[in-house]
């Protein structure tokens, strides 16, 4: 634990200027620009303030101010979305994190899902006790996004339709296919429902497994959506996909070219 110690007038004025001139996070470059000092001097200042407990290091070269009311510098991330935007940009918040934001699920997920153009080695970094789950996407896949203000920072989050699409691409980002199915049902009963847009997004992304999973789930959970089901069927690609690669998919639904677990084959409700 790092305890807070005293700080002089000059340092207080410098820190105040930095906090005014930044938006939630502070980098060496920010400090050098705002204070008009060299990057080396800026790094030394940030290091000194961190040792005194007035800054908290997130990663090399990146810090967050410690709230005045805090008794220790060992503070959790106040808003992980801001850190994600700073560290993994170009990126957007997606998967279950976006689903939570749009009330598509009542589940609480502690891990933050981030879709990024970067190719990080560590796909599950832990930053100040917050875990991030990263997935690399191409620049052309950066569509269907909504700007959300987090304090003074505008962060991109997948819109409800894109959120569903990403979880159909890989159910792991929705907590598994059972959870994704629940979110899809919530989407279908919400004001955000737009199956035409979902199919359009799917075509734009060019992932054939999406239509196999979506068509199967719609036929199973929303059979009245005949038009959307037919559009999915017409867009089936060759080969067989798995409903959820993490499950024991042992039965083939030939109509949808989809391997599913035994209880899904029977088309019975899943607990």
Per-residue model confidence (pLDDT) at position 175: 96
Per the CB < 8 A criterion, the answer to whether 73 and 66 are in contact is: yes
Residue 208: exposed, middle, or buried by beta-carbon count in 10 A (0-12, 13-18, 19+)?
middle
CA distance 20 to 18: 5
Q: In Å, how far are 3, 45, 161, 208 from 201, measured between CA atoms?
A: 50, 47, 8, 12
Locate 95 and state its tokens.
Answer: 């998967």
- pLDDT category, 63, cuts 50, 70, 90? confident
User: In CATH, which of 1.10.1200.10, 3.80.30.20, 1.10.10.10, 3.30.70.100 is domain 9-65?
Assistant: 1.10.10.10
Judge whether residue 76 has pLDDT over 70: no
Per the CB < 8 A criterion, the answer to whether 102 and 163 are in contact is: yes
**pTM greater than 0.85:** no
CA distance 229 to 195: 10
φ, ψ of residue 112 in degrees (nearest 5): -100, 125
Residues 10-34: pLDDT tens digits?
888 888 888 788 877 888 888 889 8
**Domain spans of the chain?**
9-65, 80-265
How long a stretch of residues is the chain?
A: 271
CA distance 118 to 109: 23
Of 178, 177, 183, which is closest to residue 162 (Cα–Cα)?
Answer: 183
Q: Which helix (H) or strand (E) holds 95?
A: helix 95-101
Mean pLDDT to the nearest integer, 207-236:
96
Q: Tell which wins on pLDDT, 2 or 113.
A: 113
């Amino acid at each position: 634990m790092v305890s807070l110690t005293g700080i002089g007038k000059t340092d207080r004025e410098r820190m105040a200027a930095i906090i005014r001139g930044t938006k939630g996070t502070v980098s060496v470059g920010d400090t050098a620009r705002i204070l008009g000092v060299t990057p080396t001097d800026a790094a030394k200042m940030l290091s000194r303030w961190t040792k005194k407990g007035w800054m908290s290091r997130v990663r090399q070269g990146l810090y967050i101010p410690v709230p005045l009311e805090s008794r220790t510098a060992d503070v959790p991330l106040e808003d992980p979305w801001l850190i994600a935007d700073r560290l993994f940009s170009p990126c957007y918040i997606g998967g279950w994190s976006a689903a939570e934001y749009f009330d598509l699920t009542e589940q609480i997920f502690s891990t933050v899902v981030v879709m990024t153009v970067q190719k990080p080695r560590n796909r599950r970094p832990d930053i100040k006790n917050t875990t991030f789950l990263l997935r690399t996407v191409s620049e052309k896949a950066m569509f269907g996004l909504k700007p959300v203000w987090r304090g003074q920072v505008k962060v991109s989050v997948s819109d409800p339709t894109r959120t569903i699409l990403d979880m159909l691409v890989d159910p792991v980002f929705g907590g598994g296919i059972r959870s994704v199915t629940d979110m899809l049902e919530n989407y279908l009963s919400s004001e955000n429902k737009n199956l035409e847009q979902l199919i359009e997004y799917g075509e734009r992304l060019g992932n054939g497994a999406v239509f196999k999973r979506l068509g199967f789930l719609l036929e199973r959970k929303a059979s009245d959506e005949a038009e959307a089901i037919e559009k999915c069927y017409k867009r089936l690609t060759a080969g067989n996909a798995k409903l959820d690669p993490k499950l024991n998919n042992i039965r083939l639904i030939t109509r949808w070219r989809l391997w599913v677990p035994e209880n899904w084959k029977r088309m019975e409700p899943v607990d």
